[in-house]
Structure 1
Amino acid sequence: MFLDFYRLREQPFGVTPDPRYLYLGPGHREALASLFYGIETGRGFQSLIAEPGMGKTTLLNQLLLRWQHTARTAFVFQTQCDSRDLVRHLLQDLGLECEGLDVVRQQVVLNELLVQEAKAGKHVVLIIDEAQNLTDNVLETVRLLSDFEAPDKKLLQIILAGQPELARRLSRPCLAQLRQRIAIQARLDALPADQVSRYINHRLTVAGYYGHPLFSPEALALVVKQSRGIPRLINNLCFNALSIGCATGRRVIDSHTVKEAAVDLGLEPRAKPANHPPPTSTRPAAQTLSFPQSVSSRARGGLARRRLIHASVLLGIAGGVAIHLGGLGGVGTSRLSFGTQASTALTVPTAAHPSGPVRGTSNPVATQQSTLFRSSETDSGAPTYVVQRNDTLGRLCLWIFGRYDRSVLAKLRTLNPWLTNPDHLETGQLIRLPPTDQP
């Protein structure tokens, strides 16, 4: 624990409402003085409204401490109860026996005590904390308790303390009689920024600390910002900051420690981790196979190309529509044109020409994008192939149809009877292709 590390006698930022640690800032001092004056002058009904964590219960305990020798006091905080339970809690806290008594008999016992204390010159003070939880019926019972009075003063001083919900409930028409009897209404607000450091130093001093400032100016400024002047949040921040400081060996609490404590308490969002790009694959990029390829890969590629060519022929004949498709693993595109029935050029993806770039050209890619397919002048709509340099019939069959066998060769020779030497083709020569349902 950090008590020894920071030379503290006791816990300075505890969670119990110890009146010794009450810091009387301007707002708290005014509220305490108002409530004390209301009891002293016998005003009867008072209220104290505060948001959660403002030190309301600590202030009420300080008020009871001041009246402990000159008044009979009762502190009721069990507000989830009915009217009978409320009166029973009151009598028990005043030291009266009330077991087995009905409501009427309880009120008789209470009245006897009030008269007795009034004759002795003492006040009887009832403080009900968290009064916003009381039902309307119980609040009406509280109002009736104020009817215990002498001709010149009220015999029971009642303080209703609670959150802002209590003020809203008291403003309702059904509780108008109770609201009209409240003579003093006190409020507690958050500590001003210049009071937060004094609040912290006050609690450290009560806990036995002395020496150099335990919190740096930057740390105090961050406490002000994160706590918004709410005493309970100040306590939680300082407790966690001291715990972190002790664990990390920091004799002085800096802003980084307070920020870490704020994150732990959920007062500040945690920093999001940086978004790093996904690691780049170390696997080598796939390389495009250059001709000659394996027979199986060429067959698969040729079959796909053949289907695309045949589909393009059908589309061109049907509508003459121009379609642009991305490359199919190749580097260029070739154009397939048709006869007078479909004069629009149709782009068909192809792999690189098996013969490679045509020698003697300044732009190999442009050469590969030249017109390789044309329409036949004698067979309208039947495509023909324009022979390129170094083409052979075997290579073209594998490239276009995906296979090269006797059946394909026989069909090509039937369509092209001038093909006497399959291994020797003339550049620019036209070769008719089989119909779309062949080979």
Structure 2
Amino acid sequence: MFLDFFGLREQPFGVTPDPRYLYLGPAHREALASLYYGIEANRGFLSLIARPGMGKTTLLFHLLAKFDHTARTAFLFQTQCSSREFMRFLLAEIGIESESQDFVKMHEQFNRCLVQEARAGKRFIVVIDEAQNLDASVLETVRLLSDFETPQAKLLQIILVGQPGLADKLATPALVQLRQRITSVSGLSPLTREETCRFMDHRLQVAGHKGARLFSPEAQELIAQVSEGIPRQINNYCFHALSLACAMRKKIVDAAMVREVTHDLDIHRFVSEVGSSAHRHAGLNGNGNGNGNGNGIGDPFHPVEELPGVVGEYVSSAPVADNAAK
């Protein structure tokens, strides 16, 4: 490990969604504000849609921490399931072991829990990650959960989170009732070159770095370019660049090291001739954005447009683009 070599307390470019490392550029800050105010206003259904690797889960963990003492929360990842399985996962997430397989009885159990939390003065927040994987029938089950309410307020706040394929599903006529209930749709856009540099610096600071810069300006510029501003890819390039610098006993990562790492991580070096031909064909005959997969998600080297966020202001303890770097 390079931690001792660079004077770091912990891994600055890890793969877990640690909220301490959240960097709020303008798009992330706006999305966080929209979700926060949506929950505060008891708006019911909210949505966050962005391409893979944009930091959706990290942002949501940070958001839920804001409601630690005022809400009961459930975070669901298992989205390739039936409606019955979905309800079982939901009950298990909130600590209720359902002995019954009966769908109606599971609904009743969940409703009792909602009422109990409401009487205690707490909100109930359910986050459904990777929601683009949910079948239309399960999304209809999710919609029906929003019927749990009193004349004065919604008993349940639901955040649907997913990749652009979720927007494709929600736009279908079959899900018009669910779509009409979604009161806020937020998106995340890639970091700019300047934001990428701040993102890197912030993560190093959180990890305990002090002193001279570990990345040359040219190295940071190149990482911003090859990562296309996607946080997960920035972390990956930075991790491998620091590992290479440590192996070479160099205290500063330069552009040559980043170029070597970029070459080493290029999966296209190993694509077969058949796979390469299919990839080119999909790019030419796909859904009009060059990625050819029909769900609005490109590979790491072919970005697509993001949904715009909803305007909002939110003062957070996490660093923002104006005063911190990550």
Matched AA of 2:110: L
Aligned-partner Cα distance in 2 for 1:103–1:64? 28
SS class of match (1:127) = strand
TM-score by length of 2: 0.81
| Runs of at least 4 residues off by over 3 Å | 267-270
Q: Work out the CA distance in 1 between the residues paired with 2:242 and 2:37.
A: 39
Greater Cα offset, 4-13 or 109-118: 109-118
Matched, 1:256 2:256: yes
Counterpart Cα distance in 1 of 2:158 and 2:66: 16
Structure-2 separation of matches of 1:241 and 1:194: 19
Q: Distance in 2 between the 1:160 and 1:124 partners?
A: 14
Any gaps of 5 or more consecutive residues in structure 2? 271-326
Alignment of 1:82 onto 2:86 = no
* Corresponding position: 1:212 with 2:212: yes
* Greater Cα shift, 151-160 or 260-269: 260-269
1:56 maps to 2:59: no
Specify the SS of the correspondent of 1:208: coil
* TM-score normalised by L of structure 1: 0.60
Q: Which residue matches 1:169?
A: 169
Alignment correspondent of 2:193 = 193
Contact 2:49 2:187 (C-alpha < 8 Å) held by counterparts: yes
SS at structure 2 position matched to 1:153: coil
Write the mapping of 1:3-402 to structure 2, written as runs, cut at 5 A: 3-266=3-266
Q: CA deviation at 1:152?
A: 1.1
1:194 deviation in Å? 1.1
Change in 2 beyond 3 A, CA 1:224/1:269: farther
Partner of residue 286, structure 2: none
8 Å CA contact 2:191–2:230 kept in 1: the answer is yes
Shift of 1:267: 7.4
- Per the alignment, residue 372 of structure 1 pairs with none
Residues 226, 267 of structure 1: 8 Å contact kept: no
Amino acid in the other structure paired with 1:187: G
Greater relative contact order: 1 or 2 (C-alpha under 8 angstroms, separation 6 or more)? Answer: 2
Tell whether the 8 Å contact from 1:125 to 1:158 is kept in structure 2 after alignment: yes
User: Deviation per CA, 1:296-339, whole angstroms, max 9, x where unpaired?
Assistant: xxxxxxxxxxxxxxxxxxxxxxxxxxxxxxxxxxxxxxxxxxxx
d(CA) in 2 for partners of 1:268, 1:100: 49
Find the residue that maps to 1:149 and give its secondary structure.
coil
**Cα distance in structure 1, aligned partners of 2:122 and 2:108:** 19
Secondary structure of the corresponding residue to residue 117 of structure 1: helix
Measure, in 2, the Cα distance between the counterparts of 1:99 and 1:264: 51
Structure with greater proportional helix content: 2
Displacement of 1:160 in angstroms is 0.4
State how far apart, in whole Å, the 1-side matches of 2:133 and 2:99 are. Answer: 25
Q: One-letter code of the match for 2:159?
A: I
In the alignment, the residues of structure 2 paired with residue 99 and residue 219 of structure 1 have an alpha-carbon distance, to the nearest angstrom, of 56
Q: 1:191 to 1:268 in 2, by over 3 A?
A: farther
Please report how far the alpha carbon of residue 64 of structure 1 lies from its aligned counterpart in structure 2 after TM superposition.
1.6
Q: Distance in 2 between matches of 1:88 and 1:212?
A: 52
* Distance of 2:38 and 2:85 partners within structure 1: 27
- Whether contact under 8 Å (2:71, 2:124) holds in the other structure is yes
Secondary structure, counterpart of 1:150 in structure 2: coil
Is this contact kept in 1: 2:46–2:182, CA < 8 A?
A: yes
Unaligned runs of 5+ in 1: 271-439
* Code of the aligned partner of 1:52: P
Question: Counterpart of 1:331?
Answer: none
SS of the aligned residue for 1:251 comes to: coil
> What is the Cα deviation at residue 142 of structure 1?
0.3
2:27, 2:96 → 1: CA distance?
36
Pair 1:135–1:208, CA change in 2 (3 A): same
- The structure number with the bigger radius of gyration is 1
Match for 1:112: what amino acid? R
Read off the aligned partner of 1:193 and give its amino acid letter. Answer: R
1:179-211 residue CA offsets vs partner (Å, 9 max, x unmatched): 000001010110111101100011001111111
- Cα drift, residue 115 of structure 1: 1.2
Assess if the C-alpha contact under 8 Å between 2:100 and 2:106 holds in 1.
Answer: no
Kindly state the Cα deviation for residue 268 of structure 1 after the two structures are TM-superposed: 8.8
Deviation at 1:214, TM superposition (A): 0.8
Given that 1:170 and 1:176 are in contact with CA atoms closer than 8 Å, whether structure 2 keeps it comes out as yes
What is the Cα-based RMSD across aligned positions, in Å? Answer: 1.3
For residues 64-113 of structure 1, give each alpha carbon's deviation from its aligned partner in whole angstroms, at most 9, with x where no partner exists: 21112110000000001110111111111112231224111111111111
Asked whether the equivalents of residues 47 and 185 of structure 2 are also in contact (C-alpha less than 8 Å), the reply is yes
1:221–1:103 Cα change, 3 Å: same
For 1:268 and 1:197, the matched residues in 2 are separated by 27
- CA–CA distance in 2 between the matches of 1:10 and 1:59? 20
Does the 8 Å contact 1:262/1:268 carry over to 2? no
The secondary structure found in structure 1 opposite 2:34 is helix
Percent sequence identity over matched residues?
Answer: 60
Q: Name the counterpart of 1:313.
A: none
Quote the offset at 1:8 in angstroms: 0.7
Q: Is 1:149–1:155's contact at 8 Å kept on the other side of the alignment?
A: yes
